[in-house]
Amino acid sequence: MKQKLHTPVMLTEILDYLNLRPGQTIVDATIGTGGHSRYILERIMPGGRLVGIDRDQDSLTVAREELKSYSDSCDFVYGNFMEIDNILKSLGIKHVNGIVFDLGISSFQLEDRSRGFSFQYEGPLDMRLDKNSYISAYDLINNLNEEEISDMLWSFGQERWHNRIAHLLVKERQRCPIATTLQLSKIVTMAVPSRYRYYRIHPATRTFQAVRIAVNRDLENLKVALAKAIESLAQSGRLCVISFHSLEDRLVKWGLRELASMGKVKIITAKPLVPGEDEARDNPSSRSAKLRVAERITE
């Protein structure tokens, strides 16, 4: 059975705010399986060019297949978006007309049990976006000390019960390594006080978020990538960033404000845009999405 592909989040808003026209060059810095890119390509043809970047080779392979009818107008790049400046330089591109970052984990990745992103499925404790990375979730959970785990859960997941969870994880791993997603999920659930285990949000949600961010160094990469992305934009080029939790959104908010104070960008969205009621209903994974947009005002 063919695996279900990711539904692009806030697609209408992305297409509108990019101000797309034929002949433009656009970067999808997190191309995934090509959801946003397909519709971007429709609007920049004829003569347009799309650069799709992703750390996940599996997603990139799917995107290449899904967009094969546009293959002459696309560059598919396996790499980290924090290297956007070097990637564009290697392609002979000085400036682009728009850049999109979608910072969410796709359903394509979540539903692949071998990747270990989801607490809903049994799978190896991995969580690497780039399979060639050295550090996995298994390494962090089984080797960090209790204080380090607690700090990770609070810093990257804002997990209220970080101390209790870290303590139980260290205790349980002394009996046997914590090697699977359901093992981790079960231990986290046990650590949370019983009256908080049955809320709308699964008790392991924040822990899995925190570990994924730590494994992939998401926040560090994003901070670097934002500044480089702005430098890669032509005058009046637009940057669109979709984030899915408060840490990312806060980093984008303050990063764009700093760039605005330097006279490099104009912030288009004074407050983040969120999905409309219809999208939130039809695509529940979009509910926490926030979109911020900035425009380059100097080169």
Tell me the mean pLDDT in the region 125-140: 95
Q: What is the pLDDT of residues 233-285, one digit of tens each?
A: 999 999 999 999 899 999 999 999 999 999 999 999 999 999 988 888 888 87
Residues 204, 135, single domain; the answer is: yes
pLDDT score at 106: 82
Distance of alpha carbon 104 from alpha carbon 9, whole angstroms? 9
Determine the average pLDDT of the residues in 153-158.
Answer: 95
Asked if 141 and 194 sit in the same domain, the reply is: yes
Peptide bond into 46 cis (omega under 30): yes
What's the average model confidence in pLDDT over 166-179?
97
Would residue 5 count as lying in a domain?
Answer: no
Domain at 229, CATH number: 3.40.50.150
pLDDT digits (tens, 9 = 90+) for 98-111: 999 999 888 888 88
Decide: residue 234, CB within 10 A, 0-12 exposed, 13-18 middle, 19+ buried: middle
Q: Say what the pTM is.
A: 0.91
pLDDT of residue 68: 94
User: Do residue 210 and residue 116 come from a single domain?
Assistant: yes
* Residues 97 and 239 occupy one common structural domain: yes
The parent domain of residue 154 ranges over: 112-216
Boundary of a domain, candidates 185, 216, 247: 216
In this structure, what CATH number is given to the domain that contains residue 155?
1.10.150.170
Within-domain flag for 6: no
| Alpha-carbon span 132 to 124, nearest angstrom | 16
Q: Residues 289, 241: one domain?
A: yes
| 277: three-class secondary structure by DSSP | helix
Count of domains observed in the chain: 2
Considering the domain architecture, whether residues 257 and 128 belong to the same structural domain is answered as no
Closest CA to 241 of 88, 22, 27: 27
Report strand pairing: 25-28 vs 233-243: unpaired
Last residue of a domain, one of 188, 216, 244: 216
Q: Residues 183, 247: one domain?
A: no
> What's the confidence (pLDDT) of residue 283?
84
212 and 116, same structural domain?
yes
What pLDDT, in 10s, does the model give residues 15-63?
A: 999 999 999 999 999 999 998 999 999 999 999 999 999 999 999 999 9
Indicate if the pLDDT at residue 3 is higher than 60: no
Mean pLDDT of 277-296: 90
Measure the CA–CA gap between 30 and 52, rounded to whole angstroms: 7
- Same domain? For 120 and 248 the reply is no
Indicate the residue among 216, 251, 270 that finishes a domain.
216
CA distance 119 to 184: 8
| Cα 4 versus chain centre, distance | 18
H/E stretch holding 2 reads none
Residue 202 included in any domain: yes
Q: In the predicted model, what is the mean pLDDT of residues 228-232?
A: 96
2 pLDDT higher than 50: no
